[in-house]
C-alpha cells in the first residue's frame, strides 16, 4: 500500500509562507521564498539528496492556492507556475471547489481537479501511485488538513535559519501528536529532519 | 565582554510551555514538561553535553513567571522551584515589578529581583558574569523580549519530536532576523541546534 509523505520548508518560527499570497507574490509578503527555500534554490548541489526526494513520488496532492493563488477569482485558463513541463512527471491532484477537465502537461504531469475533499484526493492519488509514495505537496492549509486527519506517514521538514515573524504556519489547528525522528542532516542553508509520525 | 545565550526546549510547533501555567502545573496544560524536556529528564546521559551547557553561565536572567507562577499573587516567601540548592550556583536576576531583598540559597545561587526592566537586568548580569556567558533562562516571554531587542548572541534550541498544539510560543512578537546554524546534534528525544544570531 502506498505511503504518504509531506515534504515542506519552514522558517525557524514555523511559517511555510508569508502573509498575503497572491499572483505576483506566490510566497506572500517578506523574504519567505529566498530564506526558506535557499537550500534548494542556491545550495542545490549540497542538498541534492533532499531535493530529489521532494519529487520522488508516484502521485502528488496540492491545495488550490498552491496551484493557483488567484485569491478567489478562478482562472480556467491557468496552467500553474511550472511552465510547459512541470517537475512532477506524474499525476497531481489539486483540491478545489471548481470542476475542471484534466490538464495534461509535457513530461508526464497531469493535473486532476478534485472537488470531493481530502479523502477522495488521497484515494485517487494512492490508486495512481501504485507502490510508490504519495506526496502532500502543500501549501500550509493542505498539509495541515492531512496532518490533522492523521493521514500522513512521514513528515520531512527543512528548517531554515530564519525567523520570518508572520505568515501561514504549519501545524495550525492540528491536535497534539508525537513523531519519531529518523534522520537529521545539517547544511548551512537548512536543517533537514525526517520524522515518522507516531511515537 | 560577556556574551548572551538563550537555551530553550520547544515542541516541533514552536511552543515552550503549555497554556495556563500555574503553581500546580508550572508547564501549563498538556504534556509539555514530559514531551519537551524528555531529552534532559529521561535521556540525561545521552544528552549530557547539552544538559551541562544549560547551566554553564556566569549569571542567569529569568522572568518572574518562571521563578514564581503565582498568577499575579506575589508570594514574598516563595523561594523558587529548585529546593534549597538550585542548580544555578551563581547569581540569578529575576525580572519583576515587586521589590524584594536578595534571596541567598545554598550552593552559591542568589536570586536578585530586578524592577528596572530587561536592560538593567542584563547590565547587572554581565557585570556579575565577568568573562563567562549570561544565560537567558526563560520563560517564553523573557526569551522573546531579549530576542526582540537584539540582545542575544546565541540561541540553543532543543526541538522535541512532538506537536503540542497550544501554549506559549518562542519568537512571538519578534521581528524577522537571520541566524547561522553552527552545530546540530540529533538524539532520539530531541534535535539540538545551536545558532549564532545574525546571518
Give this complex's ipTM.
0.91
Residue B75 forms part of a structural domain: no
State the smallest CA–CA distance between residue A195 and chain B in angstroms.
8
Provide the pLDDT for residue B199. Answer: 80
Q: In which order are the strands placed within the sheet that holds A103-104?
A: A103-104, A110-114, A91-95, A59-63, A134-138, A4-10, A154-159, A190-197, A177-187, B162-163
Residue A79 forms part of a structural domain: no
Provide the pLDDT for residue A23. Answer: 82
Of A163, A179, A186, the CB nearest to B161: A179
Q: Which residue of A has its CA nearest to B157?
A: A12
Task: With beta carbons less than 8 A apart as the criterion, state whether B22 and B145 touch.
Answer: no
Instruction: Find the CATH number of the domain harbouring A103.
Output: 3.40.430.10
Q: Identify all chain B residues contacting A13, using CB atoms and an 8 Å cutoff.
A: 14, 169-171, 174
Q: Distance between CA atoms of A158 and A160, rounded to whole angstroms? A: 6
Instruction: Give me the domain span that covers residue B111.
Output: 4-69+81-197
Any residues with CB less than 8 A from the CB of A179 and at least 6 apart, and which? A155, A195, A196, A197, A198, A199, B12, B161, B162, B163
The grid coordinates listed for A41 are 534554490
pLDDT tens per residue across span A63-115: 998 998 766 667 888 999 899 999 999 999 999 998 999 999 999 999 999 99
The rounded mean pLDDT for chain A is: 94
Helical segments of A89-194, H only: 118-129, 140-148
Residue A104 forms part of a structural domain: yes
Residue A54 forms part of a structural domain: yes
Provide the pLDDT for residue B68. Answer: 87
Provide the pLDDT for residue A71. Answer: 62
Residue B65 forms part of a structural domain: yes
Q: How confident is the model at residue B71 (pLDDT cuts 50, 70, 90)?
A: low
Residue A116 forms part of a structural domain: yes
Provide the pLDDT for residue B69. Answer: 75
What is the dihedral angle through the alpha carbons of A146, A4, B35, B94, rounded to the nearest 10 degrees? Answer: -60
Total structural domains within chain A = 1
Any residues with CB less than 8 A from the CB of A143 and at least 6 apart, and which? A6, A8, A16, A136, A170
Provide the pLDDT for residue A24. Answer: 83
Whether B161 and A31 lie within 8 Å, measured CB to CB = no
Residue A77 forms part of a structural domain: no
Residue A27 forms part of a structural domain: yes
Q: Identify all chain B residues contacting A165, using CB atoms and an 8 Å cutoff.
A: 171, 174-176
What is the dihedral angle through the alpha carbons of B147, B150, A164, A25, rounded to the nearest 10 degrees? Answer: 160
Q: How confident is the model at residue B96 (pLDDT cuts 50, 70, 90)?
A: very high
Provide the pLDDT for residue B180. Answer: 95
Compute and round to an integer the Cα radius of gyration of chain A. 16
Paired strand residues for B61: B93, B136
Check if B196 contacts A (Cβ < 8 Å): no
Q: Distance between CA atoms of A66 and B158, rounded to whole angstroms? A: 31
Amino acid at each position: 500500500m502506498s505511503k504518504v509523505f509531506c515534504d515542506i520548508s519552514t522558517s525557524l518560527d514555523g511559517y511555510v509562507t508569508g502573509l498575503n499570497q497572491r499572483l505576483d507574490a506566490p510566497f506572500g509578503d517578506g523574504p519567505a521564498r529566498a530564506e526558506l527555500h535557499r537550500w534548494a534554490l542556491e545550495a542545490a548541489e549540497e542538498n541534492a539528496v533532499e531535493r530529489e526526494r521532494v519529487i520522488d513520488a508516484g502521485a502528488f496532492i496540492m491545495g488550490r492556492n498552491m496551484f493557483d493563488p488567484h485569491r478567489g477569482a478562478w482562472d480556467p485558463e491557468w496552467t500553474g507556475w511550472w511552465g510547459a513541463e512541470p517537475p512532477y512527471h506524474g499525476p497531481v491532484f489539486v483540491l478545489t471547489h471548481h470542476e475542471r477537465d484534466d490538464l495534461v502537461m509535457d513530461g508526464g504531469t497531469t493535473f486532476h481537479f478534485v472537488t470531493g475533499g481530502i479523502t477522495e484526493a488521497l484515494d485517487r492519488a494512492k490508486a495512481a501511485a501504485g507502490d510508490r509514495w504519495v506526496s502532500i505537496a502543500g501549501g500550509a492549509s493542505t498539509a495541515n488538513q492531512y496532518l490533522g486527519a492523521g493521514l500522513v506517514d512521514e513528515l520531512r521538514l527543512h528548517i531554515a535559519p530564519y525567523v520570518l515573524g508572520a505568515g501561514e504556519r504549519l501545524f495550525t489547528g492540528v491536535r497534539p501528536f508525537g513523531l519519531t525522528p529518523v534522520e537529521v542532516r545539517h547544511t548551512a542553508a537548512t536543517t533537514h529532519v525526517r520524522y515518522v509520525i507516531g511515537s
